[in-house]
Amino acid sequence: MTVHVIYGSDSGRTKAAAGKIAAKLDGKVINIKDATVADFEGCDFLVLGSPTYDEGNLQADWADGVDVLAEADLTGKKVALFGLGDQATYPDNFVDALGTLYDAVVERGAEVVGFTDTKGYEFESSTAARDGQFVGLVLDQDNQAGKSEKRIAAWTSQIL
């Protein structure tokens, strides 16, 4: 099974998470700056990740990446999502970028897997929360960095 883990990162935290996820899934890590339509389509399983910036925005490189994603046919493709956010500083739009990615891949026909529980996080609102679950793996490296390894391990086991 071929796995592509496509991420955007400024600080390196999302890149590091992408590397850990790819290692557990025996996948290839691809920076969204370098991603092509073939990278989205040419795998059996796709994992996408972004931190949330400011008032709920995708990481800057995803601005162009969403355009590339919009050209891809993801009909029937299994896709898992992960996002980084800061629940203490941004409780009103915690990991909203994850919700943006979710909407984009569903629109392209993907089957999203890897929903996770919102319990264990303290936030007011998130577009990534749907029916009491996050639409993917949520990591808060600012306030809960000690839980990230365990969350990645549990989530990667779940999505396999």
> What's 27's domain CATH number?
3.40.50.360
pLDDT in the model for residue 118: 97
In tens, the pLDDT along 80-122 reads 999 999 999 999 999 999 999 999 999 999 999 999 999 999 9
Please state, in angstroms and as integers, the Cα–Cα distance from residue 96 to each residue in 4, 37, 105, following that order.
22, 24, 15
pLDDT given for residue 64 in this prediction: 85
Q: How far apart are CA 127 and CA 93, in angstroms?
A: 7
* pLDDT for the residue 52: 96
Domain hosting 101: range is: 3-159
Q: What is the pLDDT of residues 39-66, one digit of tens each?
A: 999 999 999 999 999 889 999 999 889 9
pTM of the prediction? 0.97
Q: Does residue 78 have a pLDDT over 90?
A: yes
- Dihedral sign of CA atoms 103, 105, 108, 113 in order: negative
Q: Which band of pLDDT confidence, cut at 50, 70 and 90, is reported for residue 3?
A: very high
- Provide the pLDDT confidence category of residue 72 given band limits of 50, 70 and 90: very high
Say yes or no to pLDDT of 11 above 90: yes
Tell me what percent of the residues of the chain surpass a pLDDT of 70: 100
What's the number of domains the chain is made of? 1
- What is the per-residue DSSP string for 79-134? EEEEEE--TTT-TTSTTHHHHHHHHHHHHTT-EEE--EE-TT---S--TTEETTEE
